[in-house]
Amino acid sequence: MLNRRRLLQGLATGAGAALGVPLVPGSSFGSSIGSTTPKRVIFFMQNQGFDPATCIPKGMHSSGSLAKAELPEPISALEPYKERLHIINGLHGMHTSPSHSAFFGALGGYRGGDGVPPSAATIDYELSKALPQTLLPHLCIGMDSIENMTTKPTIATLSASGAGQPIFMHSNPNHLYQMLYGGISTGDIRLQHEARSNALNQIEMLAAAKGRSLPTTDQQRYGQYVQGFKDVNGLRDRLDTVADHLRQFAPKVDERYTTPEFETDWHDCLLDLGISALTSGITNTLTIGSGRGEIFGAWKGLGVEQQGHNLGHMNQPDNPIWIKIRQYNSRMLVRIMEAMESVPEGSGTMMDHTLIVYTSNNADKQHTSGANWPVMLLGNFDGAFKTGCFTQIDGNRPINALFASILRAAGQNVDRFNMSDQLAKKFDERTGPLKEVLA
């Protein structure tokens, strides 16, 4: 009973935090409200740190063009896409207390920690509100070992919709496929989808009825769970209204879903589902947690036998294990870009209006102070960001400044993100976005 109760609570809380508002009546997939240019943002967070030596070309110590530079081996898959790449070094996150992981603080720009609830909304959620509305404004997927993804198919460590309001990420591709495409499927998937839908409808009605008998002090908290089930059921109904459209984008279900040989089979399936949610227009904000924001993670499918915390105690530069993991990530980034490039949009493609943010949830390494937080950007977000370059930031500017810059590019007139005047006096040398990265 305890495990079942936790599962239902996780499902309800995660859905309630992630689903947001429905598609505005009369608007179309991928179209913006009051704008002709849709945009989307993908955050790719690798755990265990992002050593700058694994992304900065040798010999580059100051800002400059990447045109004649050779990318390091770990990110060599991005070599053909250098003109779309912007490597940033020198931001910090000392105020987030990253250590093993900053958890919610990595995307929130505030103090985080294991078991510490979010103190404010994270940048991915704030962008999902600023960008054109979609059926599912924000989707989070998490990649880990098969054991962890099976026993804990939903987990919340990186994203939040507000203080004390975590957003759950999906780690079982079978569950996520049912949520997104169960209504257009056939056979066992359709039967499972219908059974799951009926169960959730009954749970919603039962929960709503039982909640009214609770003391007033408990009704508000309980109401969040009830709302979570309402959102799940509402999303299912909304997706059913665009079934014909979704059939064009639903990934093919194969043996990787049901009988994965390695955890990377599920990683690939999750990425396929995330890409399909973007290209179909179901969502405009995707967060990928490789390692799920914790100290675990496994990549046996790459021939890496080491897993979990031990990986964080290895030096990353010239390490064959970390070269494999970072190359795998780079190939995933390429897959995202190629998918975005394949879909026409406006006078160009989806990729022309997309920004990919690749970094780690604990700065440059395991057990870090957060003094250096490397980031790679891919895409220019409809011309908002400089590309094809390396930027070295030697001042005292936090990751919050980058997040504020992305919000600016999304149309929000902000100078700071989740940073009070008092905190900024200590951790940010100036106000406003990063002029070094904006076009």
Q: Which of 360, 357, 374 is nearest to 291 (CA)?
A: 360
Considering its fold, how many domains does the chain have in total?
Answer: 1
User: Does 16 map to a domain?
Assistant: no
pLDDT attached to residue 298: 96
pLDDT attached to residue 183: 67
Residues 290-342 pLDDT 10s: 999 999 999 999 999 998 888 988 999 999 999 999 999 999 999 999 999 99
pLDDT attached to residue 29: 43
User: Does 5 map to a domain?
Assistant: no
Residues 56-104 pLDDT 10s: 999 999 999 999 999 999 999 999 999 999 999 999 999 999 888 999 9
pTM for the predicted model, two decimal places: 0.85
- What three-state secondary structure class fits 397? coil
Q: Which of 437, 374, 376 is nearest to 409 (CA)?
A: 437
Mean pLDDT over 108-123 rounds to 96
The terminus-to-terminus CA distance of the chain in angstroms comes to 55
Label residue 235 by pLDDT band (50, 70, 90): confident
**Which segment of 127-131, 180-184, 248-252, 391-395 scores lowest on mean pLDDT?**
180-184
User: Does 190 map to a domain?
Assistant: no
For the cut 50, the answer to whether the pLDDT of residue 250 exceeds it is yes
For the cut 90, the answer to whether the pLDDT of residue 14 exceeds it is no
Distance, in Å, from the CA atom of 185 to the CA atom of 200, rounded to the nearest integer, reads: 18
Distance, in Å, from the CA atom of 279 to the CA atom of 272, rounded to the nearest integer, reads: 10
Bigger pLDDT: 137 or 384? Answer: 384
Distance, in Å, from the CA atom of 28 to the CA atom of 30, rounded to the nearest integer, reads: 6
Angle between helix 263-279 and helix 173-181 axes, rounded to 10 deg: 20
Q: Residues 65, 374, 337, 389: what is their CA dihedral angle, to the nearest 10 degrees?
A: -10
Q: Tell whether the torsion through CA atoms of 399, 405, 408 and 409 is positive or negative.
A: negative
Q: Are strands 154-162 and 354-360 parallel, antiparallel or unpaired?
A: unpaired
Distance, in Å, from the CA atom of 73 to the CA atom of 318, rounded to the nearest integer, reads: 9
Distance, in Å, from the CA atom of 276 to the CA atom of 239, rounded to the nearest integer, reads: 14
For the cut 50, the answer to whether the pLDDT of residue 25 exceeds it is no
pLDDT attached to residue 231: 58
- What three-state secondary structure class fits 273? helix
User: Does 146 map to a domain?
Assistant: yes
User: Does 210 map to a domain?
Assistant: no
In which region does residue 56 sit, left (phi positive, over 0), alpha (psi from -120 to 50) or beta (all else)? beta
User: Does 314 map to a domain?
Assistant: yes
Question: How far apart, in Å, are the Cα atoms of 209 and each of 174, 203, 205, 206?
Answer: 31, 10, 6, 5
User: Does 242 map to a domain?
Assistant: no
- What three-state secondary structure class fits 391? strand
Please, which residues have CB within 8 angstroms of residue 310's CB and are 6 or more apart in sequence? Answer: none
- What three-state secondary structure class fits 124? helix
pLDDT attached to residue 106: 98
Q: What is the CATH number of the domain that holds 157?
A: 3.40.720
For the cut 90, the answer to whether the pLDDT of residue 214 exceeds it is no
For the cut 70, the answer to whether the pLDDT of residue 8 exceeds it is no
User: Does 141 map to a domain?
Assistant: yes
Containing domain of residue 73, as a range? Answer: 22-176+252-427
Please, which residues have CB within 8 angstroms of residue 217's CB and are 6 or more apart in sequence? Answer: none
